[in-house]
Amino acid sequence: MLSSAYSAGLCGIDGFIVTVECNLREKLEGFELVGLPDLAVKEAKERVWNACSNSGYPFPYARITVNLAPADRKKEGSVFDAAILTSIFHSAGIIRRDTDLSGRCIVGELSLSGELRGVRGILCMCVAAKESGFREFYAPAENATEAATVAGIDVYAVHNMRELVRHLNGEERLTPVQCDRNTLFAQANTYDCDFIDVRGQAQAKRAMEIAAAGGHNILLIGPPGTGKSMLAKRLPSILPPLTFDEAIETTKIHSVAGTLPEGMSLLSGRPFRAPHHTMSPASLVGGGVNPRPGEISLANNGVLFLDEFPEFPRQVTDALRQPLEDRRVTITRANGRVTFPCSFMLVGAMNPCHCGYYGHPTRKCTCKQSDVQRYISKISGPMLDRIDIQIELPSLSYDEISANDASAERSEVIRARVTAAREFAMKRMKGAGKIFCNAQLDAAGIHEFCPTDEEASSLLRAAYDSLGLSARGYDRILRVARTIADLAGSELIRAPHIAEAIQLRSLDRKYWG
């Protein structure tokens, strides 16, 4: 008896449909699993046999051949267990043979008792099932709510195989999982950290607002205790709210990586990742025999914060260069390649020198000038060129720390200005393709969307010659000036906008100028 059930696999953050074909030949005995399975899939034979027995069903005495199609595509993990046993039950008549399994996608790992265990990437698989025209999706109860965030497909939470068999036989119907997407999304953009907590540092706050409005990368430079980490952690609170599509894409990445917080089915707030400086390049960009997303992908649509920036190995920071330009990273291995999205804002923080007190008004710096240059040069020139904003944070006086600043603003107030600036830019760039903020403007976009008046052009020419800017540095200043103009509601970039953008290139002016 030949039977087919349907499941789904993963390639990067994209799911693909797998047809599980089962053929039973009586009067023979054996169990073969084919279709390019990895070791975890091959081990499914033991899990399936024990799950069948402990669920109270007789395992068929027959020659069983299970094929996972397409046979030329590598199958990984334990996600196919439930579909394999379902196809065997259907062939053996335990599930009625007149039951139509087409249009039903079944995923889940089996325990030896027949319970379904949660799997990584359930959201990606459900999206693939919906896009392939499936009407029903059966998932482990542990993470069925995550799959239910996908609209247009009925998701059923399955606790064990007996429950699934009774449902498919029409004996005891399961109820589709209900997911209130509006309620989930209403929980977005609530952050524990707020900009009103940061004392002083008005110029740095302004720089963070400009960075958020244009999606620009930013480097914070200052002695210990000046608030660099505080500002970085509060950046997500002033970024525009995630769209639903962005939330789905971000959740897919964390679902595949297994980093989705327990009890959370949809990441509705922008992620903030802050890896330690001892990390490897593979941890940053992703890797492994079966590639997993790295920190840059886990920060997709959010913020990647690298504290003590010069302490990161050069090969780690330089690995950021291409992803910062392309906003995606492709990892190639012998058995194929996968592409992960990595559209993030980079925030770096560093001391001005090795001891941390270069230029401090009261603490003496113990570094020589050559040591300062050597410390700064740990960050390569091409890497600095990719950081639009470089701002110095001065040490705070007692009065600045203890004062009750009436002009301090809450994150929601700053976010309103940031969102308005982004909307202003989006109207101008409508029809320009997938450009969502000024930091993504290429050379053609800069030429089209960054008009300057005569005074601004003269100022930019003088800065280019005196600072020895590269062509990329020139583009960065124009992009930042475009964002400053957007915050001011101006279509034309004027001299004050250029002047402020130049002031936000601290390393160009102080160390390289």
| Of residues 511, 412, 508, 438, the one with CA closest to residue 469 | 508
What is the rounded distance in angstroms from the CA atom of residue 379 to the CA atom of residue 375?
Answer: 8
Quick one: DSSP state of residue 508? I
Outline where 331-387 has alpha helix (H): 369-376, 381-385
CA gap 35, 71 in Å, rounded: 4
Tens-digit pLDDT profile for residues 372-410: 888 888 888 888 888 899 999 888 776 767 667 667 889
Give percent above pLDDT 70 in the chain: 95
What values do phi and psi take at 36, rounded to 5?
60, 55
DSSP letters, 372-425, are: HHHHHTTS-HHHHHT--EEEE-PPPPHHHHHS--TT---HHHHHHHHHHHHHHH
30-34, 64-68, 264-268, 485-489, range with the lowest pLDDT: 264-268
pLDDT of residue 186: 66
Answer whether 352's CB lies under 8 Å from 222's CB.
yes
Q: Does 196 have pLDDT greater than 70?
A: yes
When pLDDT is averaged across residues 71-77 and rounded to a whole number, the result is 89
What are the angstrom distances between the C-alpha of 346 and each of 53, 216, 364, 387, 432?
Answer: 53, 8, 31, 8, 24
Q: Which of 177-181, 215-219, 280-284, 317-321 has the lowest mean pLDDT?
A: 177-181
Report helix angle 81-92 to 161-168, nearest 10.
Answer: 50
pLDDT surpassing 70 at residue 236: yes
Report which of 5, 251, 12 is spatially closest to residue 134, judged by C-alpha positions.
5
Of residues 416 and 385, which shows the higher confidence score? Answer: 416
> In which residue are the tokens 């051949």 written?
65
Q: Are strands 286-287 and 292-293 parallel, antiparallel or unpaired?
A: antiparallel
155-173 pLDDT, tens digit each: 999 999 999 999 999 999 9
Contact 22, 4 (CB under 8 A): yes
Work out the average pLDDT over 214-222: 93
* pLDDT (mean) for 262-268: 83
Choose the weakest-confidence range: 114-118, 145-149, 276-280, 399-403: 399-403
Q: How far is CA 163 from CA 106, 157, 304, 336, 364, in A?
A: 13, 10, 43, 37, 72
Q: What is the pLDDT of residue 512?
A: 41
In sequence order, what are the residues at sequence separation of 6 or more whose Cβ sits closer than 8 angstroms to the Cβ of residue 6? 17, 18, 19, 20, 83, 101, 102, 104, 105, 106, 134
Mean pLDDT of 239-266: 89
On average, the pLDDT of the chain sits at: 89
Which one has a higher pLDDT value, 76 or 134?
Answer: 134
What is the average pLDDT across 205-211? 95
Measured between alpha carbons, how far is residue 15 from residues 79, 131, 239, 496 in Å? 12, 10, 30, 49
What gap in Å lies between CA 505 and CA 324, rounded to an integer?
Answer: 18
pLDDT for 204 beyond 60: yes
Strand runs (DSSP E) across 35-178, as ranges?
62-69, 104-106, 109-110, 116-117, 136-140, 154-158
Per-residue pLDDT tens digits for 111-131: 999 999 999 999 999 999 999
Q: 440 and 325 in contact (C-beta within 8 Å)? A: no
Distance CA 99, CA 313 (A): 59
**Helices 81-92 and 44-54: crossing angle, nearest 10°?**
60
Q: Where are the beta strands (DSSP E) in 141-285?
A: 154-158, 218-221, 272-273
Mean pLDDT of 213-238: 92
- Structural domain spans, the chain: 2-179, 195-512
> Percent of the chain having pLDDT more than 90?
60
Ranges assigned E (strand) in 45-123: 62-69, 104-106, 109-110, 116-117
Angle of helix 495-503 relative to helix 471-487, nearest 10 degrees?
A: 120
417-450: pLDDT as tens digits = 999 999 999 888 886 656 678 888 888 888 889 9
Buried b (16+ CB within 10 A) or exposed e, 133-144: ebebbbbbbbbb
| Chain segment 342-355, per-residue pLDDT in tens | 999 999 999 988 88
Contact 422, 213 (CB under 8 A): yes
For the question of whether the overall pTM of this predicted structure is more than 0.95, the answer is no
CATH number of 2-179: 3.30.230.10
Lookup: tokens for 221 = 């430079």
What token pair was written down for 48?
Answer: 């399936």
Among the CATH numbers 3.10.20.30, 3.30.465.10, 3.40.50.300, 1.10.10.10, which is that of 195-512?
A: 3.40.50.300
Q: Please give the Cα distance from 130 to 248 (Å, whole number).
A: 14
Q: What is the mean pLDDT of residues 454-470?
A: 86
pLDDT at 508: 59
Asked if residue 287 has pLDDT above 80, the reply is yes
126-145: average pLDDT: 96
Q: What is the mean pLDDT of residues 229-233?
A: 93
CA distance 320 to 478: 22
pLDDT at 142 (0 to 100): 93
- Alpha helices, DSSP H only, in 258-362? 281-285, 295-298, 314-318, 321-326
Output the pLDDT for position 157. 97
CB burial of 471-496 (b: ≥16 within 10 Å; e: otherwise) equals eebbbbbbbbbbbbbbbeeeeebbbb
More confident residue, 262 or 188: 262
